[in-house]
């Protein structure tokens, strides 16, 4: 079965600074990878996903993620953080033709002025 680890529970970043959130997965074949964001009191919104092809994936809100098979990682990045990016971020992994996703425990991002 697939699994996800998000090593950072909480990250604080200054507005305008860059952000990188780590995600490591465990799965024997080519994974399907997702990043979701959850604002307080809200559901999860899809930021981006990787199924195949170009390993650098562009998403909404200026986010991107890079799939690195050799490191079993799918880290999320944003060059310049805005105060509205304060939220919880979840990485998820799925298997081919399997509707189930495994989620990480999430990383909370705080943005300071």
**Site residues (CB under 8 A) for another protein?**
4, 9, 32, 34, 36, 41-46, 49, 51, 90, 94-106
Contact 12, 98 (CB under 8 A): no
CB of 38 to another protein, least distance (A): 8
Which of 97, 113 has the CB closer to another protein?
97
Which of 48, 81 has the CB closer to another protein?
48
CB of 110 to another protein, least distance (A): 15
CB of 43 to another protein, least distance (A): 4
């Amino acid at each position: 079965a697939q699994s996800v680890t998000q090593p950072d529970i909480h990250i604080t970043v200054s507005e305008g600074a860059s952000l990188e959130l780590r995600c490591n997965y465990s799965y024997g074949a080519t994974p399907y990878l997702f990043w979701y964001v959850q604002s307080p009191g809200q559901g999860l919104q899809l930021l981006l996903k990787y199924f195949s092809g170009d390993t650098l994936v562009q998403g909404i809100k200026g986010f991107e993620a890079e799939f690195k098979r050799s490191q079993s990682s799918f880290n999320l990045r944003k060059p310049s953080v805005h105060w509205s990016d304060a939220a919880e971020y979840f990485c998820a992994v799925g298997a081919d033709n399997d509707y189930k996703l495994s989620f990480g425990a999430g990383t909370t991002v705080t943005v300071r002025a």
